[in-house]
């Protein structure tokens, strides 16, 4: 494994730029409702690097912090200009930063996936995703409280 390889990326408008060194420790696709809402899409794609191998080289990120129904803290960080979610820091992965896969400079998805998680809420139109593991939920999923109906996707709003 080449630890000297550099990966660059950033947000849609180009105001935020970053550099990651080496190879990601964890690479996955997540179909949880949080990733669906955060990405505005059917799933999220994340590559987790050790914090010391990640640097914001330009721009300033805003953040949104919340707790999941399992009481795990999430911090999503985004470009304050264009709104692109660039990274996440999850309590369950201390010392790591999750970079949104679509924000790497082309070729964007240069890595193989370790896991596909929260398959139980996978959109019906998403086909087979090549990954080493396919999990119904996630290793830290242990609900401590009920989610709002809006987050469960069962409440209709007008």
**31 and 18 Cβ atoms separated by less than 8 Å:** no
The answer to whether residue 32 scores a pLDDT higher than 60 is yes
Q: Which CATH class is domain 6-140?
A: mainly beta
> For the segment 101-158, what is each residue's pLDDT rounded down to a tens digit?
999 999 889 999 999 998 988 999 999 999 999 988 766 565 566 666 666 644 444 4
Helix (H, G, I), strand (E, B) or coil at 35: helix
Residue-level pLDDT at 86: 97
Structure tokens that stand for 155 in this block: 């409440």
Residue 61: its H or E element: strand 61-67
């Amino acid at each position: 494994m080449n630890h000297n390889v550099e990966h660059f990326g950033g947000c849609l408008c180009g105001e935020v730029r970053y550099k990651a060194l080496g190879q990601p420790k964890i690479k996955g696709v997540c179909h949880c409702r949080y990733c669906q809402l955060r990405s505005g899409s059917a799933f999220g794609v994340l590559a987790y690097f050790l914090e010391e191998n990640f640097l914001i080289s330009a721009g300033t990120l805003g953040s949104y912090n919340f707790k999941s129904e399992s009481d795990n803290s999430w911090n999503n960080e985004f470009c304050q200009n264009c709104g692109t979610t660039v990274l996440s820091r999850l309590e369950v992965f201390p010392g790591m930063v999750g970079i949104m896969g679509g924000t790497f400079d082309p070729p964007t998805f240069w890595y193989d996936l370790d896991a596909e998680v929260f398959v139980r809420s996978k959109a019906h139109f998403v086909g087979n995703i090549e990954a080493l593991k396919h999990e119904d939920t996630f290793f830290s999923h242990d609900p401590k409280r009920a989610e709002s109906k809006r987050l469960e996707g069962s409440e209709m709003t007008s």
